[in-house]
Structure 1
Amino acid sequence: MARFLGFRGHRLNVATILLVVFPAYMCFGYNLAVSGGLLTLPSFIEQFPKMDTVHNTSKFNSNVQGTVVALFTVGGVLGALSTIFIGDRLGRRRVVFLGSALVIIGALLMSSSYSFGQFIVARLVQGIGTGATTATVPVWQSEISGSSHRGSHVVTEGLFISTGIAASLWIDLGFSFIGTSSVSWRVPLVVQVPLAILVMIFIFQLPESPRWLLGKGRSEEAREILGILRDVDSNSDIVQSEVADIEKSLELLGTVNKWELFTLGEKRNFHRLALGMTGQSFGQLCGINSLTFYATIIFEQRLGLGGTDSRVLGAAMTTIQIVGALAAVLTIDRLGRRPLMLTSAAGMCMSMAVLAGTTSTSHNQAALIVAVISLFAFNMFYPFGFLGLPFLYSTEVAPPHLRAKISGVSNCMTWLFNFVVVEVTPTGFQTINYRYYIIWAVINFAIVITVYFLFPETNGRSLEEMDEIFMLSNNIFESMRVARSLPRKDHLSVEAGGDTRYDEAKS
Structure 2
Amino acid sequence: MSREKYLTLNKASGPNSSAKAEPFVRVIALIATLGGLLFGYDTGVISGALLFMGGELHLTPFTTGLVTSSLLFGAAFGALLSGHCAAAIGRRRIILVLAIIFAIGALGTSLAPDVEWMIIFRVILGVAVGGASATVPVYIAEIAPANKRGQFVTLQELMIVSGQMLAFMSNAGFNAAWGGDTTWRWMLAVATVPAVLLWFGMLFMPDTPRWYAMKGRLAEARKVLERTRAKQDVEWELTEIEETLSEEQEKQKPRLRELRKPWLFRLFWIGMGIAMIQQLTGVNTIMYYAPTMLKSVGMDDSAALFATIANGVISVLMTFVGIWLLGKIGRRTMTMIGQFGCTACLVFIGTVSYLMPESINGQPDILRSYMVLLGMLLFLSFQQGALSPVTWLLLSEIFPTRLRGIFMGGAVFALWISNFLIALMFPVLLASVGLAGTFFIFAGIGILGAIFVVTCVPETRDRSLEQIEHYLHEWLSPNEAEQATLSQPVKRTS
Give the TM-score, by structure 2 length: 0.89
- Distance in 1 of aligned mates of 2:141 and 2:253: 21
Q: Secondary structure at the match of 1:380?
A: helix
2:184 — aligned with what? 185
Opposite residue 449 of structure 2, the aligned amino acid is I
1:169 — aligned with what? 168
Q: Secondary structure at the match of 2:340?
A: helix
Structure with the larger RCO, 1 or 2 (CA within 8 Å, 6+ apart): 2
1:487-498 counterparts in 2 under 5 A? 487-488=490-491, 493-494=493-494
1:25 — aligned with what? 36
Q: Is the 8 A contact 1:165 1:318 kept in 2?
A: yes
Opposite residue 485 of structure 2, the aligned amino acid is V
2:102 — aligned with what? 103
Opposite residue 305 of structure 1, the aligned amino acid is M
2:487 — aligned with what? 484
Q: Is 1:45 aligned to 2:54, yes or no? A: yes
Q: Is the 8 A contact 2:275 2:414 kept in 1?
A: yes
Q: Secondary structure at the match of 1:84?
A: helix
For the structure 1 residues 272 and 164, does the alpha-carbon distance in structure 2 shift closer, same or farther, using more than 3 Å as the test? same
Q: Is 1:282 aligned to 2:285, yes or no? A: no
- Distance in 2 of aligned mates of 1:199 and 1:306: 36
Moved more, 405-414 or 314-323: 314-323
- Distance in 2 of aligned mates of 1:116 and 1:64: 8
Q: Name which of 281, 288, 293 aligns with 2:288.
A: 293
Deviation per CA, 1:157-183: give whole Å up to 9, x if none. Answer: 111111111111111111123556554
Q: Is the 8 A contact 2:213 2:221 kept in 1?
A: yes
For the structure 1 residues 169 and 483, does the alpha-carbon distance in structure 2 shift closer, same or farther, using more than 3 Å as the test? same
Q: Is 1:324 aligned to 2:318, yes or no? A: yes
Opposite residue 45 of structure 2, the aligned amino acid is V
- Uncovered stretches (5+) of structure 2, i.e. residues with no partner: 1-19, 359-364
- Distance in 2 of aligned mates of 1:450 and 1:183: 45
For the structure 1 residues 84 and 371, does the alpha-carbon distance in structure 2 shift closer, same or farther, using more than 3 Å as the test? closer
Q: Secondary structure at the match of 2:459?
A: coil
User: Percent identity, aligned pairs only?
Assistant: 23
Q: Is the 8 A contact 2:467 2:490 kept in 1?
A: no
For the structure 1 residues 454 and 480, does the alpha-carbon distance in structure 2 shift closer, same or farther, using more than 3 Å as the test? farther
Q: Is the 8 A contact 1:276 1:395 kept in 2?
A: no
- Distance in 2 of aligned mates of 1:92 and 1:317: 32
- Distance in 1 of aligned mates of 2:75 and 2:476: 34
Opposite residue 249 of structure 1, the aligned amino acid is T
Q: Secondary structure at the match of 1:335?
A: coil
Opposite residue 405 of structure 1, the aligned amino acid is I
- Distance in 2 of aligned mates of 1:488 and 1:47: 63
1:422 — aligned with what? 423
1:396-435 counterparts in 2 under 5 A? 396-433=397-434, 434-435=436-437
Q: Is the 8 A contact 1:83 1:136 kept in 2?
A: yes
Q: Is 1:69 aligned to 2:71, yes or no? A: no
Distance apart, 1:391 and its partner CA: 2.1
Opposite residue 297 of structure 1, the aligned amino acid is T
1:455 — aligned with what? 457
Deviation per CA, 1:267-303: give whole Å up to 9, x if none. Answer: x2122211221111112111111111101000002x1
Q: Is 1:385 aligned to 2:386, yes or no? A: yes
Measured on the aligned residues, the alpha-carbon RMSD in Å equals: 2.0
Distance apart, 1:484 and its partner CA: 2.2
For the structure 1 residues 257 and 108, does the alpha-carbon distance in structure 2 shift closer, same or farther, using more than 3 Å as the test? closer
1:238-257 counterparts in 2 under 5 A? 238-254=233-249, 255-256=252-253
- Distance in 2 of aligned mates of 1:123 and 1:342: 34
2:350 — aligned with what? 356
For the structure 1 residues 350 and 480, does the alpha-carbon distance in structure 2 shift closer, same or farther, using more than 3 Å as the test? farther
Distance apart, 1:481 and its partner CA: 4.2
Aligned residues: 463
- Distance in 2 of aligned mates of 1:199 and 1:334: 32
For the structure 1 residues 259 and 321, does the alpha-carbon distance in structure 2 shift closer, same or farther, using more than 3 Å as the test? closer
Moved more, 175-184 or 394-403: 175-184
1:442 — aligned with what? 444
Opposite residue 67 of structure 1, the aligned amino acid is L
Q: Is 1:464 aligned to 2:466, yes or no? A: yes
Give the TM-score, by structure 1 length: 0.87
Q: Is the 8 A contact 2:21 2:145 kept in 1?
A: no
